[in-house]
Amino acid sequence: MENASTKSALKASRRSPPKEASRRSPPPKESTLAPPKSPPRSPPKENTKPQEFKLHTQERAVKRAMFNYAVTTKFYIMELQKKQEERLQKLIEEEEVRLLRKDMVPRAQLMPYFDKPFFPQRSSRSVLRESCLHMMSSKCWSCSVGNEIYNLHHCGHQALKPIK
């Protein structure tokens, strides 16, 4: 129990201010009427001026205008070159057409007879006999046409005759 009483005595001593400290500084009489004093302020500093900062928007706008001008001039020059090339190509083509017309000799063709329709005529060239190559591709060499046996010698020399 003594421990508990000593602990409570210590707590009470911590809560209450020491008697000697209260004797040294008497409480002010006007403290109940006036607001409590704030701690003393540090000496006032000099008025600071904000640093001026420079935005790069004007410089960027100038650079962008120069870039836009360069791009437009490049497109304009490319368009002029394209027109010049087209004009030159057109002149070359016109010159070629003029030379072709100058060199060209017109050849007139006969008008067809509409009262006499065209009938194809037989050619006067000799007609080839059917070659016996189909005989060569057959499996059996003893195939006969009209009960006659063809040999390659008889068929081969007719197929090689020129047309007259």
Predicted confidence (pLDDT) per residue in 33-86, tens digit: 566 677 788 888 888 888 888 889 999 999 999 999 999 999 999 999 999 999
Alpha helices for 114-151 (secondary structure H): 133-137
Rounded to two decimals, the pTM is 0.33
Task: Return all residues near 143 (Cβ < 8 A) that are at least 6 apart.
Answer: 135
Residue 84 lies in a domain: yes
Residue 8 lies in a domain: no
Residue 34 lies in a domain: no
Residue 47 has what pLDDT? 86
Residue 162 lies in a domain: no
Residue 39 has what pLDDT? 79
Domain count, the chain: 1
> Is the distance from CB of 161 to CB of 127 less than 8 angstroms?
no
Considering only residues 144 and 73, tell me which one the structure prediction assigns the higher pLDDT.
73
The end-to-end CA distance of the chain, in Å, is 153
Residue 18 lies in a domain: no
* 27/36 Cα distance (integer angstroms): 12
Give the pLDDT band (50/70/90) at residue 147: very low
Residue 49 lies in a domain: no
Residue 143 lies in a domain: no
Give the pLDDT band (50/70/90) at residue 23: low
Look up the domain containing 89 and give its range. 55-103
Highest mean pLDDT pick, 48-52, 136-140, 148-152, 157-161: 48-52
Residue 1 lies in a domain: no
Considering only residues 139 and 72, tell me which one the structure prediction assigns the higher pLDDT.
72
Considering only residues 69 and 1, tell me which one the structure prediction assigns the higher pLDDT.
69
Residue 30 has what pLDDT? 52
